[in-house]
């Protein structure tokens, strides 16, 4: 299932959330010890010259929180499922901007980007609500 962002229609909500520069270090506590998230030299060898990237789990969590705030009016019980495809990296300290379009009372198409970058960091993103 996929829900496209409606062309030419303003978003029903926009939530901007700032990640912290030490966010990736904190996410080490989740049990992920991938050096891509903590070691600048390792990240550079993989082509991430800007430095270690933020964990996908962290980005996913920020988007979930944005949907709860924007589409569910703060009621986390309404978020049934969240679907995303990771497209571009997010770096610790980036500001994640989630825009949403309510397609009906139970579905929401999402556009997720980083402020200052004109590209989606998550694609095919949508939420199912109850």
54-103: per-residue pLDDT in tens?
999 899 999 999 999 999 999 999 999 999 999 999 999 999 999 999 99
Active site residue 4: no
Active site residue 32: yes
> Active site residue: 12, 51, 56, 61, which one?
56
Give me the residue spans of the domains in the chain.
13-129
- Answer yes or no: CATH 3.10.129.10 is held by domain 13-129: yes
Share the mean pLDDT of the chain: 93
DSSP classification of residue 129: E
Active site residue 77: no
> Active site residue: 4, 25, 33, 37, which one?
37
Instruction: Give the model's pLDDT for residue 30.
Output: 80
> Active site residue: 38, 53, 68, 96, which one?
53
Active site residue 37: yes
> pTM of this prediction?
0.91
Query: Are 90 and 121 a contacting pair, CB within 8 Å?
Result: yes
């Amino acid at each position: 299932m996929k829900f496209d962002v409606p062309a030419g229609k303003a978003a029903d909500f926009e939530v901007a959330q700032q990640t912290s520069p030490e966010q990736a270090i904190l996410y080490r506590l989740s049990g992920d010890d991938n050096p891509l998230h903590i070691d600048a030299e390792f990240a550079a060898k993989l082509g991430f010259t800007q430095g270690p990237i933020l964990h996908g789990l962290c980005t996913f969590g920020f988007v979930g929180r944005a949907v709860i705030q924007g589409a569910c009016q703060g009621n986390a019980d309404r978020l049934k499922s969240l679907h995303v495809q990771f497209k571009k990296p997010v770096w610790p300290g980036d500001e994640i901007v989630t825009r949403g379009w309510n397609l009906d009372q139970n579905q929401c198409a999402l556009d997720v980007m980083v402020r200052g970058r004109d590209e989606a960091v998550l694609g095919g993103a949508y939420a199912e609500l109850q």
